[in-house]
């Protein structure tokens, strides 16, 4: 299977790259492109420098040499970027960027783009879903599904997994904990997709779409986190 990690920073993508590269089932590419539509010279320079100065700076020259890291100078949905991605003949894209994906981008990957969403689908779609989940006394977790043009409405869900966050002191820590599972979740998803008898779960869109939360409810969520300590969250 040929997989491309869509990342707006090298630092964000390299962890997923290393976990998937260790699988040794096909090719993995880290597609590093600048965020936003209009990309200035300085934005490109910052992108390159931040990649060079990231956690594993020696990996960048090495992976550039092998061709497994590609630094794009244009935004993701630019025709030049999409044309190059299509040439790579990738099966799956993995979302690790700040982009909203349009149909031409999604179609540049044979099977589509996977998203590790920090909420359990179909119940929790949209923004601040971890916070809304806690506020409503439900179980937190991650769902890995193929993106479509809607907001967390892609029907093909590879799996969802409950992940406890009740040991964390703050919303930011709890959220980071959920996000930190993305590499493992993507690895599991890629493995599942390669099994012969794999069947998708259906994200039927029956859940509500959630929005940005008020400060009032944020404070309630913060209190709920503190009131529910456990010894060692994993």
Partner 1 sequence: MDNSKFKQQPPDRRIAQALRQRLEELCNTSSDRISPSRFGDQASFAKQVNTILQSGKISPWRENPAINLDSPPRWIDSEENSLTFLRRLALGESPSVKFKDTSPQESAGNFLKTLDENKSKWFDLLIQRYQCPLNLYLDSESDVIEFLLYQLMVPKRVKLDKGHLDTLNHDELLLILNFVAVYAAGSSDLRFIDALNYYYERLPESWRPEGCHSWLWVSFYALYAKALSSRS
Site residues (CB under 8 A) for partner 1?
132, 134-141, 162-164, 166, 208-217, 219-220, 223-224, 227-228, 230, 234
Residue 113's φ and ψ, nearest 5 degrees, are -115, 130
| Burial (Cβ within 10 Å: 0-12, 13-18, ≥19) of residue 38 | exposed
Q: Considering beta carbons, is residue 72 or 168 the nearer one to partner 1?
A: 168
The sign of the dihedral angle between the CA atoms of 105, 182, 207, 135 is negative
The count of other CB atoms within 10 Å of the CB of residue 223 is: 10
Q: Considering beta carbons, is residue 29 or 210 the nearer one to partner 1?
A: 210
Q: Considering beta carbons, is residue 14 or 116 the nearer one to partner 1?
A: 116
Q: ω into residue 199 within 30 of 0, thus cis?
A: no
Q: Considering beta carbons, is residue 87 or 227 the nearer one to partner 1?
A: 227
Measure CA 223 to chain center: 28
Q: Considering beta carbons, is residue 200 or 217 the nearer one to partner 1?
A: 217
Q: Whole-number minimum distance, CB 36 to partner 1, in Å?
A: 16
Q: Whole-number minimum distance, CB 220 to partner 1, in Å?
A: 5
Nearest C-alpha neighbor of 80 from the set 143, 33, 129: 33
Q: Whole-number minimum distance, CB 108 to partner 1, in Å?
A: 27
Q: Whole-number minimum distance, CB 224 to partner 1, in Å?
A: 5
The pair of structure tokens assigned to 127 is: 């923004």
- Beta-sheet pairing, 124-126 with 208-210: parallel
Site of tokens 């190059």: 84
Q: Whole-number minimum distance, CB 7 to partner 1, in Å?
A: 25
């Amino acid at each position: 299977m040929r997989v491309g990690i869509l990342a707006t920073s090298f630092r964000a993508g390299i962890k997923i790259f290393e976990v998937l590269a260790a699988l040794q089932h096909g090719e993995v590419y880290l597609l590093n492109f600048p965020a936003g539509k209009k990309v200035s010279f300085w934005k490109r320079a910052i992108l390159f420098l931040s990649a060079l100065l990231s956690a594993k700076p020696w990996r960048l020259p090495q992976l550039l040499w092998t061709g497994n890291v590609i630094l794009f100078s244009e935004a993701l949905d630019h025709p030049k970027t999409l044309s190059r991605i299509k040439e790579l003949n990738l099966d799956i894209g993995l979302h690790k960027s700040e982009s909203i994906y349009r149909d031409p981008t999604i179609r540049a990957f044979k099977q589509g783009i996977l998203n590790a969403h920090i909420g359990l689908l179909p119940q929790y779609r949209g923004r601040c879903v971890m916070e809304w989940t806690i506020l409503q006394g439900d179980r937190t977790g991650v769902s890995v599904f193929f993106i479509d043009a809607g907001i967390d409405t892609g029907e093909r869900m590879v799996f969802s997994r409950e992940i406890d966050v009740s040991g964390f002191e703050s919303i930011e820590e709890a959220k980071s904990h959920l996000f930190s599972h993305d590499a493992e979740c993507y690895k599991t998803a890629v493995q599942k997709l390669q099994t012969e008898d794999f069947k998708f779960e259906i994200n039927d869109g029956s859940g509500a779409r959630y929005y940005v939360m008020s400060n009032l409810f944020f404070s309630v969520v913060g209190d709920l986190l503190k009131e529910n300590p456990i010894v060692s969250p994993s």
